[in-house]
Amino acid sequence: MRFATTSALAIALVVPLAAATTAQNYPSRTVTVVVPFPAGGSVDGVARILVQKLNETMGQHFIVENRAGGASGIVGANAVAKAAPDGYSLLVSASVHVINPLLYKSVPYDVVRDFTPVTLLAEGPLIVSTTPSVPANNLKDFFALVRKDPQKYTFGATTIGSAGHLAIELLKRDDYFERGSVAWRLRESPVGRVFRRLPPA
């Protein structure tokens, strides 16, 4: 079962403030595109498509580096924030990048002063998905199940502060359900957990 929601996932490219990307000979060496999440996720996928196209048009100078770890992409973002502002360290991240300072007391960079936004790379819908064994065909029926037996269900989000997590909190605020959400460990996302439980084709 899969239900589309009205929230959106946004993925953007940002660089350290004052990055000198206008030089005529750019890039003259390897450009590292940092993804602050594990390989295989939506942000990583977008970054790899971007890097492929950049290498096709600008030469083989761009690589993806996954710098996962810590809370909500902070480790990777901090690596880019502390890098030389020369355009050779880029960050591809999601909306959680600008949400982190509102959720955590200690973020080691300023999302406004330390980064320059370049472009919005992608956006898409969020979905609510379960295994086929759940007896619901739409969100209304699913939320009715959750209200009836709230201890039976857990909502998973890839990380605290992500678009998925905030969508769950909005649904809770609007009294669709009271059950809390869970931030899954980086090594096993909610998507992987759901598909691992699906019967073989």
Q: Which pLDDT score is estimated for 198?
A: 42
Reading the chain (201 residues) residue by residue, the pLDDT tens digits are 444 333 345 667 777 665 545 567 889 999 999 999 888 888 899 999 999 999 999 988 999 999 987 678 899 999 999 999 999 999 999 888 888 888 888 899 999 999 998 998 988 887 777 888 888 888 888 888 888 887 777 777 767 777 777 777 777 777 666 655 444 443 445 455 544 544 443
- Alpha helices per DSSP H over 59-148: 74-81, 96-103, 139-148
Question: Residue 176, Cβ neighbours under 10 Å: how many?
Answer: 17
In whole angstroms, what is the distance from residue 37 CA to residue 73 CA? 6
Q: Which pLDDT score is estimated for 23?
A: 60
Q: Which pLDDT score is estimated for 80?
A: 94
CA atoms within 13 Å, Cβ hemisphere of 64 = 23
Q: Which pLDDT score is estimated for 18?
A: 56
Q: Which pLDDT score is estimated for 180?
A: 52
Q: Please state the domain extents for the chain.
A: 8-124, 126-196
As a CATH number, domain 8-124 is 3.40.190.150
Strand pairing category for 31-35 and 89-94: parallel
**Cβ(67)–Cβ(39) under 8 Å?**
no
Give, to the nearest 10 degrees, the angle between helix 74-81 and helix 96-103: 100
In this prediction the pTM is: 0.73
In whole angstroms, what is the distance from residue 178 CA to residue 176 CA? 7
In whole angstroms, what is the distance from residue 58 CA to residue 143 CA? 49
> What's the Rg (C-alpha) of the chain?
19
Give the angle 118-119-121 at the CA atoms, nearest 5°.
140
Helix (H, G, I), strand (E, B) or coil at 62: strand
